[in-house]
Amino acid sequence: MTAPTSLASLRLAPRLEADLRWYLCESEGALGLRSSFGAQLARAEAAPGRNKGSKPLGAAQAAEWTDAQLAAVDRARRVEQRLGALTRPQQRVLAAAYGPGLPREAERAWSWLSAPGSGLSVVLLLLVAGRQHLGRRELRAWHEAIRGDKGAAKVEAGKKLAALRQDAEVALVRAGRGYEAAGREPLRRSA
């Protein structure tokens, strides 16, 4: 008899996970895209004269692509092509699993959802809970039951949380398999 395969062992290869994390969290910086302070930067560029003794602002500062930026463009294009082959729900699962996550305080408040060492992001667990129409109030009630010493309620909440984690793991494996399969198909060439 063979041992059952854990779902975690069916996740994306580390290289593909790293590509998704990079794409979702760091690619804009690697590509040299503007920061979220675009309005302030635009005003500074439109200002007449010089900027603290540097070159004149405007057209004289045309961007030149570095080798690192060109490599980032190629890497981003590969990830975008794979993501483009997925369904929107699969894309959302991967973004929730590998994206930037929640602000630190919110992450801390919901960290109990993810089992230590599971590698499941809190955002992914909240996404799956939302798909199951589980509200945050209900999730907080589970947390209170698990933290408290309420016998049957504690056991029941623990079972529900385990099922939610299992559903999140299944969603992640399915989306990951789709992402891997998209890489084996011939890539579309953009015109």
Taking the C-alpha atoms of residue 75 and residue 180, their distance in angstroms, rounded to an integer, is 15
Q: What is the mean pLDDT of residues 99-110?
A: 90
What is the length of the chain?
Answer: 191
The DSSP 8-state label assigned to residue 150 in this structure reads -
The DSSP 8-state label assigned to residue 64 in this structure reads -
For 77-108, give the DSSP string. HHHHHHHHTS-HHHHHHHHHHHS--S-HHHHH
pLDDT exceeds cutoff 80 at 56: no
Residue showing tokens 């039951």: 145
Of residues 1 and 123, which shows the higher confidence score?
A: 123
| pLDDT for the residue 29 | 76
Taking the C-alpha atoms of residue 123 and residue 94, their distance in angstroms, rounded to an integer, is 10
At residue 135 the predicted structure's pLDDT band, cuts being 50, 70 and 90, is: very high
| pLDDT for the residue 178 | 93
Taking the C-alpha atoms of residue 191 and residue 132, their distance in angstroms, rounded to an integer, is 40
pLDDT exceeds cutoff 70 at 188: no
Residue showing tokens 């004269």: 49
pTM of the prediction?
0.74
CB 69 within 8 A of CB 30: yes
Of residues 116 and 86, which shows the higher confidence score?
A: 86
Burial of 12 (0-12, 13-18, 19+ CB in 10 A): buried
Q: Which of 115, 98, 109 is nearest to 166 (CA)?
A: 115
Would you report the helix, strand and coil content of the chain in percent, each value rounded to 5? 65, 0, 35
